[in-house]
Amino acid sequence: MSKKNTIQLDAEKKQILKEYRHLLRSLKPKIKNSSDKADIRRAFEMAVEAHKTMRRKSGEPYIHHPLAVAQIVVDEIGLGTESAICALLHDTVEDTDLTLEDIEMNFDKQTAKIIDGLTKISGAFEMNIDTSQQAENFRKLLLTLTDDIRVILIKIADRLHNMRTMESMAAHKQMKIASETLFIYAPLAHRLGLYNIKTELEDLSLKYTQPEIYKEIAQKLADSKKERSKYINEFINPLKDLLIEKGYNFEIYGRPKSIYSIYNKIKTKHVPFEEIYDLFAIRIIVDTEIEKEKSECWGVYSVITDLYTPSTERLRDWISNPKANGYEALHTTVMGPQGRWVEVQIRSKRMHEIAEMGVAAHWKYKENSTDNALDEWIEKIRETIQNPDTNALEFVTNFRQELFSEEIFVFTPKGLLKRLKAGATALDFAFEIHSELGLKCIGAKINHKLVPLSHKLQNGDQIEILTSSKQQPNEDWLKFVVTSKAISVLRKTLQEEKKKMSELGKETFEKKLKQFGIPYTDHNINVAVKFYKYLSPFDLYFYIQTKNLTLTDLKDLKIQGGKLMLPTAKIESKETIEETVKKELKKNAELLIMGESSNQIAYKFANCCNPIPGDDVFGFITIGEGIKIHRTNCPNAVQLMSKYDYRIVRTKWNKQHEIAFLTGVKLNGIDDVGVINKLTNIITGQLKLNMRSISFDTDDGIFEGKIMVYVHNIEQLDKLIDELSKQQGIFSVSRIDENEMKN
């Protein structure tokens, strides 16, 4: 070995030991005895030995990864020695020669069980596998959440470190991992109360999925930092004096909003960075005893609203009714100096630790708390996924939707509080109380007023459910229920009913075949299914019973040797679209839109985002429609890239041949005389663009308009937006998507 290599290896060993000692220092308050310290040392040595020949994409020894994951688990999630041991060993059973038996022999059954859970769920978030298999994997992962939540917490720490160290990966790999992270890891971290980790995962995902936007917002935040700090001090100083005067023991500071949340506001509210007023929030943390928390937080709120005028519509009381993940705080928005709205968050020290550390802190404090919302949520997951009739794909879809959902608080007739997903209906509430109550529900009384099943509930509603023994659920109910429990129970019940109908249809089918002289065989059953274009015999039998399918057409089919023969049809090529594309495109090549490959490969522009030349785009291989071209910031991009990355084609624009693309802008401003004439002169006169349509609505002197126009590329569209934005009296101008064009 060369001297240079020896020096490098020595340096690497020193760095590894340095990181290990850092982990030990972090664990020191949690190490209960010498046995704990010995176990950590043993886990470290086993991990080093198991990964000794492995290196990461960056070239560094692989052991840095499990060490970093363990550090995150301890410092940022707040878990203890057993979790640190599991984090150190989390990849060993899957990637090395170590076995679960080795783990159990060196530690204990619980440690082996957690590592077994981490090994089993390693593919649960992989999006480039069959969707139903992915869903089933994910359901298994959630079973580990209900069994030992540390499995998912370590998995989130694992993903966070991977996101922090993606620089060495290829761009398409970065895009895939970032999209997966936005799709499920960030929502899970949110639901588990890991707000700091959730925020960092979102920011890092944006950094790799929309790098230019990320850099632009980060730069603007950096440029405005001095001005922001000056304003925060102007807001805080008089408030600090009042709180000290009242005798509160507190900490107060300004916290900048995340880049991802600012990006979302720019996208959803269609306003530029400069017009977003809440780029930061003021946080006040009160150091007090648990029994005085509520009164002192409200006392601080009183001091704030004595000094600054509050917006009554923007008060959020999560102290009286904590969120399902255990989050507690008072949020209010007040009018600060210079006429600017400022969000203020008020928490106790205990509440702050729960907000920072999520579930780990929740369990630390729950012995002193009567709130068990997070435990109730986990129990609901257990009930749903342990139901053998629950469709995995449907469950995962519904579960993910609920991860980020807001909550409402409603009451039973006896005054018991119930948490439901925002948008829940009277029928959702009935299922929340009991499955049988939901199935027999015919209506409800809300605040003593009669309402239908589909009535949406509001915060504070008191609900009495009305039932009938004659009531039967139907598929229309699925159109308005929103909670996972209601959807799961309904689907199961309807499926059981469908099964009964299918059994009756099967009897009818057998009789009909006998009547037509056709043998009742598996072959003939499958031919009938294909002939009537159903997905399975089950569906065929169901529709025979419910739609009175006569089956008389079967008499006209040929029978050879007792076998039904389908009418001959043109045999289609067995080549899939994906195989065709792979033949046409060289490995790692890009699809050139309007270029050479466009003469060979069919592609269309996706209606969901309406790309135009110059947009950052990617191709998505569809079934039956060739390749669809999407913008990388398309609303569907994250899901497509995370779930179907193997169907993504790298795509770029080739030189255009003056082809015009329909796009549109929306704008608002002051409804002044001649405003439409002024705008159309800019579009058709100054910029020489063709308009397809223009529409304006006015209300109390303010107009909102939509202009459909043909452009050749993104530069022309940007120029149009820039010119319109310069006009006096125009408040905002932004591009609109295809769905808005159709409205």
Interval 638-678: pLDDT, tens: 778 777 777 787 787 765 545 677 788 888 888 777 788 88
Contact 712, 660 (CB under 8 A): yes
Which has the minimum average pLDDT: 197-211, 272-286, 355-369, 543-557? 355-369
Q: Which of 94, 101, 251, 718 is catalytic?
A: 94
Q: Give the number of other Cβ atoms within 10 Å of residue 666's Cβ.
A: 17
Residue 22: pLDDT band by 50, 70, 90 thresholds? very high
Instruction: Give CA–CA dist 73/87, Å, rounded.
Output: 7
Contact 16, 64 (CB under 8 A): yes
Residue 332: pLDDT band by 50, 70, 90 thresholds? very high
Q: What six digits make up the tokens of 195? A: 């707000």
Interval 34-85: pLDDT, tens: 888 899 999 999 999 988 888 888 888 999 999 999 999 999 888 889 999 9
Token match 């209606």: residue?
607
Per-residue confidence (pLDDT) for residue 585, from 0 to 100: 56
Per-residue confidence (pLDDT) for residue 570, from 0 to 100: 46
Q: Which of 12, 19, 75, 95 is catalytic?
A: 95
User: Helix 81-88 vs helix 3-27: angle between axes, to the nearest 10 degrees?
Assistant: 160
pLDDT of 543 higher than 50:
yes
Interval 441-458: pLDDT, tens: 988 899 888 888 899 998
| Residues 503-532, mean pLDDT to the nearest whole number | 84
Concatenated DSSP letters of 524-549? HHHHHHHHTT-SSHHHHHHHHHHS--
Residue 289: pLDDT band by 50, 70, 90 thresholds? very high
Token match 């959630």: residue?
142
Q: What is the dihedral of CA 70, 75, 81, 85, to 10 degrees?
A: 0
| Residues 224-244, mean pLDDT to the nearest whole number | 91
Q: What six digits make up the tokens of 448? A: 């003593």
pLDDT of 197 higher than 70:
yes
CA distances from 398 to 157, 194, 258 (A): 24, 21, 27
Per-residue confidence (pLDDT) for residue 386, from 0 to 100: 55
Instruction: Give CA–CA dist 545/553, Å, rounded.
Output: 17
Q: Give the number of other Cβ atoms within 10 Å of residue 639's Cβ.
A: 15
Per-residue confidence (pLDDT) for residue 718, from 0 to 100: 86
Task: Report the top-level CATH class of 222-368.
Answer: alpha beta
Q: Where are the beta strands (DSSP E) in 447-590?
A: 449-451, 463-467, 558-560, 563-565
CATH fold of 661-742: Alpha-Beta Plaits (3.30.70)
pLDDT of 428 higher than 90:
yes
Per-residue confidence (pLDDT) for residue 589, from 0 to 100: 57
Per-residue confidence (pLDDT) for residue 296, from 0 to 100: 94
Q: Where are the beta strands (DSSP E) in 311-416?
A: 316-317, 330-335, 341-348, 407-411
Per-residue confidence (pLDDT) for residue 160, from 0 to 100: 94
470 Cβ contact list (under 8 Å, min separation 6) = none
Per-residue confidence (pLDDT) for residue 392, from 0 to 100: 53
pLDDT of 569 higher than 80:
no
- Residue spans of the domains in the chain: they are 3-217, 222-368, 492-565, 577-653, 661-742
Residue 684: pLDDT band by 50, 70, 90 thresholds? confident
Per-residue confidence (pLDDT) for residue 430, from 0 to 100: 93
SS3 at position 735:
strand
Q: What six digits make up the tokens of 385? A: 């996924």
Mark out the alpha helices in 278-391 (DSSP H runs): 293-307, 349-357, 359-365, 373-385
Contact 702, 573 (CB under 8 A): no
Average pLDDT, the chain: 81
Per-residue confidence (pLDDT) for residue 586, from 0 to 100: 53
Which has the minimum average pLDDT: 126-130, 136-140, 426-430? 126-130
**Averaging pLDDT over each range in 366-380, 461-475, 616-630, which range is the top one?**
461-475
Per-residue confidence (pLDDT) for residue 345, from 0 to 100: 94
Token match 């805080």: residue?
236
pLDDT of 617 higher than 70:
yes
95 given a catalytic annotation: yes
Interval 360-409: pLDDT, tens: 665 555 444 444 555 666 666 666 555 555 555 555 555 655 565 677 78
pLDDT of 740 higher than 60:
no
| Residues 539-558, mean pLDDT to the nearest whole number | 78
| Residues 156-168, mean pLDDT to the nearest whole number | 92
Same fold, 3-217 and 661-742: no
Q: What is the DSSP letter of 59?
A: S
Q: What is the pTM (predicted TM-score) of this model?
A: 0.64
699 given a catalytic annotation: no
Per-residue confidence (pLDDT) for residue 370, from 0 to 100: 41
Residue, of 297 and 1, whose pLDDT is higher: 297
Instruction: Give CA–CA dist 151/141, Å, rounded.
Output: 9
Instruction: Give CA–CA dist 649/578, Å, rounded.
Output: 10
Looking at the chain, the whole-number percentage of residues with pLDDT higher than 70 is 81
pLDDT of 2 higher than 80:
no
Task: Report the top-level CATH class of 3-217.
Answer: mainly alpha
